[in-house]
Amino acid sequence: MRFCSFCDEPTEWAELLTDERLRCAACKITRFFERELTLTGDYAGQPFVLMPWVREVIRDIFGTLDDDGTRVYRDVYLEMPNGSSKTTICAGFVVALLATAQGTGTEVYSAATTKEQASIVFRAAAQMIGANARLSSRMLVTPSTKTIVRRDDPTSFYKAISADGFAHDGLAPSFVVRDELHRWRTFRALELNEVLERKIMKRKNPLIIDITSAGHIVTWRYARFTLAEVAASARHPLPERRRLMSYRLRGQRTERIMCQGGACYQMSFQLEPAEPEVFWNFQQELARDGLSQGMLHRFDSSGRMALGALSYINVETRARHMLVQAFHTFPDDYAIVKSQSLFELP
């Protein structure tokens, strides 16, 4: 067993650097973020220091490998609140994926529903490259086409695309970052989504990263079958087509569905009213536990209560299944929503 020279974690797949040090696949990406990229906007030029939860996400995505060295996770969902540097992280992903890609013909896309949203990610990526002399010498940025091309391999490039743009049948994506996933509801957005998912399946080691600032969505893919679980406001429009089940978050419910290829999906949820003292004790424990594992978001106070709501999600993976646990608190009503979902392979 070998150990990464940077994180000291055991690894079967590591890159031998010119100075004889070993670098694991996860450290290759995290170190690129922090050594090569800078922040944008009001913090332009400042070092890109990864928050602990972002570092953990990146290490899980790029450091969890199969026996042949390919990534286990190929479709990733990230739920991020407004104001949490979502655009900067999107731009960081596309630059890192393009700059560190092996071989030739790598196609990286950031996809959004509108040209305006697509332009935001592109401008942030271009700003990151412009702030680094090494990256500027390796990349050719063309704002008119929202494209960034590697100078050492013109067949490898990044391009920002949108659902309201031109036809996208010629795509051959290796990596895709889909921004504001909760807005992908129009016919053209769904059409672009279908093209991206169909084309990326032809790649050996593909990756789709979905980022949204609204809702609770878990996407799970097995072979050519994709299952999505959504928890959202009753006012949030959701597609009717191919919907397998739909329940309001009232009382408690348990359901089990056998899917294509023998895969199984089980879910249970409970809306639990609580006495004020019990509620606040739970809220404090959740806030404390969320600092050490899972992903926790604190909402602003509504004004009636001194403290705002909390949302927490934790994912556990094993060889043949994935377990997702989520907790959402509602201080104004002293209520807690608890949900648990199990995705199992045959």
Q: Which residue has the higher pLDDT, 333 or 324?
A: 324
Helices (H) and strands (E) in the chain, counts: 7, 19
Cα 44-48-52 angle, rounded to 5 deg: 140
The residue extents of the domains of the chain are 32-214, 253-344
pLDDT in tens, 49-91: 998 878 988 999 999 998 888 998 888 877 676 566 778 888 9
Q: Is 125's pLDDT higher than 90?
A: yes
Inter-residue contact 89 to 54 (CB < 8 Å):
yes
What does DSSP say about strands 216-222 and 225-231: parallel, antiparallel, or unpaired?
antiparallel
pLDDT in tens, 269-280: 999 999 999 999
Which residue is listed with tokens 């602003």? Answer: 300
Which of 75, 24, 25, 85 has the alpha carbon at shortest distance from 53? Answer: 85
Where residue 48 falls (left for φ over 0; alpha for ψ -120 to 50; beta otherwise) is: beta
Which residue is listed with tokens 């500027």? Answer: 136
Average model confidence (pLDDT) across the chain: 86
CATH homologous superfamily for 32-214? P-loop containing nucleotide triphosphate hydrolases (3.40.50.300)
Q: What is the C-alpha to C-alpha distance for residues 134 and 132, in angstroms, rounded to an integer? A: 6
Residue 23 is predicted with a pLDDT of: 96
Cβ burial, residue 336 (10 Å; 0-12/13-18/19+) = buried
- Which are the contacts of 180, defined by CB distance < 8 A and separation ≥ 6? 112, 113, 117, 211, 212, 213
Residue 102 is predicted with a pLDDT of: 87
pTM recorded for the entire structure: 0.66
